[in-house]
Amino acid sequence: MTSVSTREAKVERTTKETSIAVSVNLDGTGAFNIATGVGFFDHMLEQLSRHSLIDMDIKANGDLHIDDHHTVEDTGIAIGQAIAKALGERRGINRYASLDLAMDETLTRAALDVSGRPYLVWHVKFSAPKIGTFDTELVREFFHALAQNAGITLHVANLYGENNHHIAETCFKAVARTLRHAIETDPRQKDAIPSTKGSLKG
């Protein structure tokens, strides 16, 4: 069992396409040290760390001479695995959270269940294929990898917005804020698994 006071984990993942090292502290302050070689993605991961209050150290080396896809997806896999490992049996957590997050003209909703059952519902559309040099379709790929490997049911919906940077950023911030609340300890059930099944392992 992972104790609430030591909810930290490290994951290293190496394939022919990427080499990634991730460490997380679920009870951190949102401190981060992130270098993936993909500037916009680094910026988004910094938002994820800062607004979830999960300390994250992420180093990724990928086949960026091909494109950013493998690096983004595999980083999502590694972060998800690290979060799942740090959560352990998921005792005492709030489990559920939802939030509408505003940024200028954009509003995005995130709702999640740290259930052990991975699922992604994605209602986000971008009006352009790229933000700078970053493929907008990779935003969904990241969250799919994160949800699948963290064992999270995740729903993300952009309700409205015009600026694609804002749409992407609100997705990361909204997920971060809901994740922060869902994995926090509920003082009324510190040692209990928040499920009538007695397990959040799927």
Q: What is the mean pLDDT of residues 121-134?
A: 97
> pLDDT tens across 65-80, in order?
999 999 999 999 999 9
- Architecture of domain 4-183 in CATH? 2-Layer Sandwich (3.30)
The Cα–Cα gap between 34 and 41 comes to 10
Residue ranges of domains in the chain:
4-183
> pLDDT tens across 145-192, in order?
999 999 999 999 999 999 999 999 999 999 999 999 999 998 888 776
Q: What is the pTM assigned to this prediction?
A: 0.93
- Among the listed residues 139, 149, 152, 196, the one whose alpha carbon sits nearest the alpha carbon of residue 178: 152
